[in-house]
Amino acid sequence: MNKVLKTVGLLVILATISSCAVKMPLSTNYFSNQKTVGVIYLIDSIAVYKEGSQGLLDMALTSGNRFKEPLSIVSKKINPDDAIKDLYKQLFDSKGKPLNEIDFDFDGKKLTKFEKDPRSQKLYYYHDLRFLKEEEGIDELLIIHAKHGLLVSYYGMIETGKMGYCRIDAEIINLSDNSILFKDFSNSAEKIEGKMNTPPDYENLKNAIAQAISKTISLERNKMNN
């Protein structure tokens, strides 16, 4: 519970640059190689996110504290961890390339920045993860970062909308040289049907977040199957 409430207190601005972030499609012959793949799941606790145009003062005056109780209650009924892990396990198993979930505490503050050859045209992961090749006995690393919760739209201090939200970012790193083999994301924002403030269970909020999670997982499955 403490973790949920702490996370809810962090308001993240979903900038428009998210939609134009660098992407790298999966090569058509990726699943035909015999490389071993490890996976790390970074799945955030339920949280409230922001989008729209806001200045620093606007952000300070729209802290979102009033969403803490609804989200903490909804978090007891929604946990996307297993569904997300099953998604990738099934995808890779079906392609004959099983995943090995590794026990690695991914802390960017403790990792070294990767220094790339300026002459290289490849896209590289920010942190140097090559040590995992020998340490974990894997050739490639799949990193899954998922977030879910309530997406609130603002124009200045004016609240313009609330939706259930989910986003999954996926990257595959070649541990031989730290280059990125795949990088993409799927996300969904689903309208809350009816009023959000419906205690004690907040069913409308729960349903919107659950729908966003389900749709995002479906989008991700279709993307990696193509």
CA 21 to mean position of chain CA atoms: 14
- The per-residue pLDDT for range 30-59, each reduced to its tens digit, is 999 889 999 999 999 999 998 765 445 445
Distances (CA, A) of 34 to 39, 87, 134, 140: 16, 21, 17, 11
Strand partners, 45: none
Q: How far apart are alpha carbons 141 and 14 in whole angstroms?
A: 26
Q: What is the pLDDT of residue 34?
A: 86
Confidence band (pLDDT; 50, 70, 90) for 5?
very low
Q: What is the pLDDT of residue 65?
A: 78
Q: What is the pLDDT of residue 22?
A: 81
- The per-residue pLDDT for range 79-133, each reduced to its tens digit, is 999 999 999 999 999 999 989 999 998 998 999 999 998 899 999 999 999 999 9
Confidence (pTM): 0.86
Q: What is the pLDDT of residue 164?
A: 97
Q: How far apart are alpha carbons 132 and 174 in whole angstroms?
A: 10
Comparing CA positions, the residue from 190, 188, 200, 202 lying closest to residue 162 is 190
Q: How far apart are alpha carbons 78 and 137 in whole angstroms?
A: 34
Q: What is the pLDDT of residue 58?
A: 45
Comparing CA positions, the residue from 13, 119, 114, 91 lying closest to residue 58 is 13
Confidence band (pLDDT; 50, 70, 90) for 21?
low
| Residue ranges of domains in the chain | 2-225
Assign residue 149 a region: left if phi > 0, alpha if psi is -120 to 50, beta otherwise? left
Q: What is the pLDDT of residue 157?
A: 67
- In angstroms, how far is the first alpha carbon of the chain from the final one? 39
Residue 73 has pLDDT above 50, yes or no: yes
Residue 210 has pLDDT above 50, yes or no: yes
- The per-residue pLDDT for range 126-180, each reduced to its tens digit, is 999 999 999 999 999 999 999 999 999 877 667 778 999 999 999 999 999 999 9
Distances (CA, A) of 77 to 9, 84, 89, 124, 210: 20, 16, 23, 38, 9
Residue 220 has pLDDT above 70, yes or no: yes
Mean pLDDT of the chain: 86
Measured from the Cβ of residue 32, the count of other Cβ atoms closer than 10 Å reads 10
Token representation of residue 162 = 């609330």
Percent of the chain with pLDDT over 90: 67
Token representation of residue 44 = 């955030």
